[in-house]
Amino acid sequence: MTLFCFSDGAVLLASMKRLLGCRSLVLFFFLEAETFRDQSERHWSAALLDSVHLAARWPVPPHRLQSSSSMGPETKTQVPLRVFFFPLMSPGHMIPMIDVAKLFARHGAATTIITTPANEPFARPAIDRANSSSPPLPHPINLIFLPFPSSVHHLLPAGHENFSSITSDDDFNKLFTALFALDTPFGHLLQSHQPDCLVSDSVFTWSAAISADLNIPRLIFHGPGIFTLCIHDNLNLHDAYGQATTFTIQDIPHDIHMNRWEVPNIFTLPMWLQMLRDAEDRSYGVVVNSFYELEPDYAELYRRKPGRRAWYIGPVSLYNESADEKAVRGLAETEHEELTSWLDTKPAGSVVYVSFGSLCVFSVDQVEEIAAGLEISGHCFVWVVRDKGPSTPEGFEERVKGRGVVVRGWVPQVVLLGHVAVGGFVNHCGWNSVLEGISAGLPMVTWPLMHEQFINEKLVNEVLGIGVTARREGQDPTVVIGREEVAGAVRRLMDGGDEAEVRRGKAREYARMARTAIEDGGSSRVDLNRLMDELSQRRDVGGEEKVEFSSN
């Protein structure tokens, strides 16, 4: 679940009303501005949401309601399952959903990815690589563009249609506003193509009403694992923001404690929470980028919740087997051959890989402390920094030359994490990074910065036991973490000792489980087959098993 920040709620609300005209979809969110500000600066804006009543209703064409008896004898076997994928325009959402689309395509589905024109560079390389694979896909993956809303297009710099390209709160607000002007063209697109299933990012709550009107089952792609979704449910049930400063999560299999500032700010927005729940109630179920063996207690806990359905089909990154497939995920701007050649010169398990994702920006002070900490840790490292963030301290890169490499921009993370020289991973606890680290068998230094990342940290450190935290217990995330703490965390991760060996052993075992899960007969492969069979059967009987939706 992703949160967004608006620095000027009144301006956004006014622009939304202008954008949406007489339609009653009025959305207004809360988002942590630390995506763009120093960690010490938090700015929140309120948001209210009326309801999701779309002015246009999308009639169901008669051919979607036909029963299997009216279909020709070859129809069921010859017509592939047609699945549309609609990811949020951000690398952390697009990359795994494109992986899911490729996975469906390999299993015979005719898949289509929907995005806006300027996001073609994020999607096209992976799609072209998949379509040229050997053996070939049964049906090539398609890419369809929704026109970027003209009412917002002129307000943003050219081509700024992805959150990774945004550098200011003002532009962020405009881009997020644009997402909610996509509802009408999206509805017309679905009405025209009539796919058998829609896989939608959870943020596009309005897609639930459209798909329901068209009798198209909607699967939700949340992003995080099932542990985090269960914690979200629990926090909502027990009024997390009404708790004491430190409290225990109730009614879950593990003894998990949280500080109030670790709770995602979405829990101050009951109407937005209700909208997400309503959209989930209207949907067919949830597709989870995880595997059952990683979170079995929480998979069972989620399954016991009335009306909840989930399919665990990950880790989806592992389905990219060749180096080329891994390298073209996202915007691989940096040639990785030079990096891998450098890693080839290092002993096995000797390098720590450091990356904080595509959206997080540190303060100048924090960048200086990270640099100093890596320098005094004594360990080899690869540090990936956001190209729009602060520069490393003067002279730092020259001093660590030969022992450390600083890379700017986007890199093929899965390729680097899988290199034999990499022995540990310092990251922000974004779910993609966590799962890619687990899949590579790497212990981690956890450094969450916002949103559900603090909950993901609990899974890594307290449930799985494969990580150490960079922050002192109870330390506020707005406080700069000093160089000695950075160096200490890296040493605990990379040095010997019984605790470090236990972490490494557990990490290797989870990597083995992950690999087994996606193989023939593995839990994720079985869940994927069950899901696709169920969707095909639903299609073949004319959608008679669709979820019943309450009217607005």
Q: What phi, psi does 143 have (nearest 5°)?
A: -130, 120
Active site residue 171: no
183, 196, 201, 213: the catalytic one is 201
Active site residue 201: yes
Cα–Cα distance for residue pair 32/5, rounded to 1 Å: 5
Q: Are 260 and 247 in contact (CB under 8 A)?
A: yes
Residue 262: which of 507, 6, 474 has the closest Cα? Answer: 474
Cα–Cα distance for residue pair 86/111, rounded to 1 Å: 11
H helices within 180-322, ranges in order? 183-193, 206-213, 226-237, 270-281, 296-303
Cα–Cα distance for residue pair 149/185, rounded to 1 Å: 9
CA distance to 426, 445, 460, per residue, from 494 (Å): 11, 10, 17
Q: Are 235 and 269 in contact (CB under 8 A)?
A: no
CA distance to 220, 388, 431, per residue, from 372 (Å): 42, 20, 27
Residue 219: which of 433, 541, 534 has the closest Cα? Answer: 534
Cα–Cα distance for residue pair 165/157, rounded to 1 Å: 10
Q: Are 252 and 234 in contact (CB under 8 A)?
A: yes
Residue 211: which of 155, 279, 303 has the closest Cα? Answer: 279
Task: State the catalytic residues.
Answer: 93, 201
